[in-house]
Amino acid sequence: MSTLRFDALKASMNREPVAVTEQPKRSQAFGANVFGFSAMENSLPKSTYKNLLTAIEKNQTINRDIADQIANAMKEWALSKGATHYTHWFQPLTGATAEKHDAFFETTAPGRALERFEGNQLVQQEPDASSFPNGGIRNTFEARGYTAWDPTSPAFIFGTTLCIPTVFVAYTGEALDYKTPLLRALHAVDDAATAVARYFDKNVKKVSASLGWEQEYFLIDKSLAVSRPDLELTGRTLLGHSSAKGQQLDDHYFGTIPSRALSFMRDLETESILLGIPVKTRHNEVAPNQFELAPIFEEANLAVDHNSLLMDLMKKVADRHHFKVLFHEKPFAGVNGSGKHNNWSLSTDTGVNLLAPGKTPMSNLQFLTFFINTIKAVHDNEELLRASIASASNDHRLGANEAPPAIMSVFIGAQLTKVLSELEGVTKGKLSPQEKTDLKLNVVGKIPEILLDNTDRNRTSPFAFTGNKFEFRAVGSTANCANPMTVLNSIVAKQLKEFKKEADVLIDKKGLKKDEAIFNVLREYIKQSRNILFEGNGYGEDWKKEAKKRGLSNNKNTPEALKIKIDPKTIVLYEELGVMNTTEIEARYEIEVEEYIHRIQIEGRVLGDIARNHVIPTAVKYQNILIHNVRGLKDIYGKDFNKYASEQLLLISDISKHIEAINSGVTTMINERKKANIIAESIEKAEAYCKKVKPLFDEIRYSCDKLELLIDDELWPLAKYRELLFTT
Ligand code: ADP
Ligand code: MG
pLDDT of 667-687, one tens digit each?
999 999 999 999 999 999 999
The answer to whether the beta carbons of residues 188 and 579 sit under 8 Å apart is: yes
Q: Is the CB of 293 under 6 A from ligand 1?
A: no
Domain with residue 712: its CATH number is 1.20.120.1560
**Predicted pLDDT at 19:** 86
Q: Is residue 241 part of a domain?
A: no
Average pLDDT over residues 433-455: 48
Confidence of residue 380 (pLDDT cuts 50, 70, 90): very high
Give the structural domain span for 70: 31-176
Same domain, 194 and 166: no
Same domain, 326 and 390: yes
Average pLDDT over residues 388-406: 90
| Contact partners, residue 12, CB within 8 Å, separation at least 6 | 221, 222, 223, 224, 322, 727
Ligand nearest to the CA of 211: 1
**Alpha-carbon distance 84 to 75, whole Å?**
10
Q: Is residue 459 part of a domain?
A: yes
Q: Is the CB of 356 under 6 A from ligand 1?
A: no
**Predicted pLDDT at 14:** 84
Average pLDDT, the chain: 91
Q: Is the CB of 151 under 6 A from ligand 1?
A: no
For residue 690, the SS3 value is helix
> How much distance in Å is there from the Cα of 554 to the middle of ligand 1?
27
Residue 501: other Cβ atoms inside 10 A? 11
Write down which residue in 176, 205, 221 finishes a domain: 176
The answer to whether the beta carbons of residues 275 and 156 sit under 8 Å apart is: yes
Domain with residue 341: its CATH number is 3.30.590.10
With a cut of 70, say whether residue 445 has pLDDT above it: no
Find which of 175-184, 530-539, 568-577 is predicted with most confidence, using mean pLDDT: 568-577
Same domain, 628 and 567: no
Confidence of residue 438 (pLDDT cuts 50, 70, 90): very low
> How much distance in Å is there from the Cα of 416 to the middle of ligand 1?
19
**Predicted pLDDT at 427:** 61
Average pLDDT over residues 626-637: 95
Same domain, 557 and 674: no
Closest atom of ligand 1 to 457 CA is: 2
The answer to whether the beta carbons of residues 448 and 365 sit under 8 Å apart is: no
Same domain, 354 and 210: yes
With a cut of 90, say whether residue 587 has pLDDT above it: yes
Write down which residue in 528, 556, 580 finishes a domain: 580
Average pLDDT over residues 631-656: 94
Average pLDDT over residues 475-501: 98
Average pLDDT over residues 398-421: 87
Same domain, 414 and 471: yes
**Predicted pLDDT at 431:** 40
Write down which residue in 133, 154, 176 finishes a domain: 176
| Segment 205-244, tens digit of pLDDT | 999 999 999 999 999 999 999 989 999 999 999 999 998 8
**Predicted pLDDT at 61:** 80
Q: Is residue 587 part of a domain?
A: no
Confidence of residue 436 (pLDDT cuts 50, 70, 90): very low
With a cut of 70, say whether residue 360 has pLDDT above it: no
**Predicted pLDDT at 430:** 42
Average pLDDT over residues 419-429: 74
Same domain, 408 and 342: yes
Closest atom of ligand 1 to 280 CA is: 14
Same domain, 281 and 422: yes
| pTM across the whole model | 0.94
Q: Is the CB of 285 under 6 A from ligand 1?
A: no
With a cut of 90, say whether residue 447 has pLDDT above it: no
**Predicted pLDDT at 383:** 98
Q: Is residue 23 part of a domain?
A: no
With a cut of 80, say whether residue 435 has pLDDT above it: no
Helices vs. strands in the chain: H and E counts, helices first: 27, 18
Same domain, 496 and 611: no
Closest atom of ligand 1 to 297 CA is: 16
**Predicted pLDDT at 434:** 40
With a cut of 90, say whether residue 425 has pLDDT above it: no
**Predicted pLDDT at 453:** 46
Same domain, 545 and 644: no
| Contact partners, residue 443, CB within 8 Å, separation at least 6 | 419, 422, 423, 426
| Segment 26-60, tens digit of pLDDT | 899 999 999 998 899 999 999 999 998 988 887 78
> How much distance in Å is there from the Cα of 726 to the middle of ligand 2?
25
With a cut of 90, say whether residue 580 has pLDDT above it: yes
Same domain, 614 and 705: yes
| Segment 316-335, tens digit of pLDDT | 999 999 999 999 999 999 99
| Contact partners, residue 248, CB within 8 Å, separation at least 6 | none
Q: Is residue 589 part of a domain?
A: no
Same domain, 505 and 479: yes
Q: Is the CB of 283 under 6 A from ligand 1?
A: no
Q: Is residue 14 part of a domain?
A: no
How many domains does the structure of the chain reveal?
A: 3
With a cut of 70, say whether residue 666 has pLDDT above it: yes
Q: Is the CB of 294 under 6 A from ligand 1?
A: yes
> How much distance in Å is there from the Cα of 513 to the middle of ligand 2?
39
Q: Is residue 588 part of a domain?
A: no
With a cut of 60, say whether residue 398 has pLDDT above it: yes
> How much distance in Å is there from the Cα of 390 to the middle of ligand 1?
23
217: number of CA atoms within 13 Å, CB side? 25
Closest atom of ligand 1 to 294 CA is: 14
| Segment 508-567, tens digit of pLDDT | 999 999 988 999 999 999 999 999 999 998 988 899 999 999 999 999 999 999 999 999
> How much distance in Å is there from the Cα of 293 to the middle of ligand 2?
11
**Predicted pLDDT at 455:** 45
Q: Is the CB of 297 under 6 A from ligand 1?
A: yes
Q: Is the CB of 307 under 6 A from ligand 1?
A: no
Q: Is residue 661 part of a domain?
A: yes
DSSP 426: S
Comparing 590 with 400, which gets the higher pLDDT? 590
> How much distance in Å is there from the Cα of 294 to the middle of ligand 2?
9
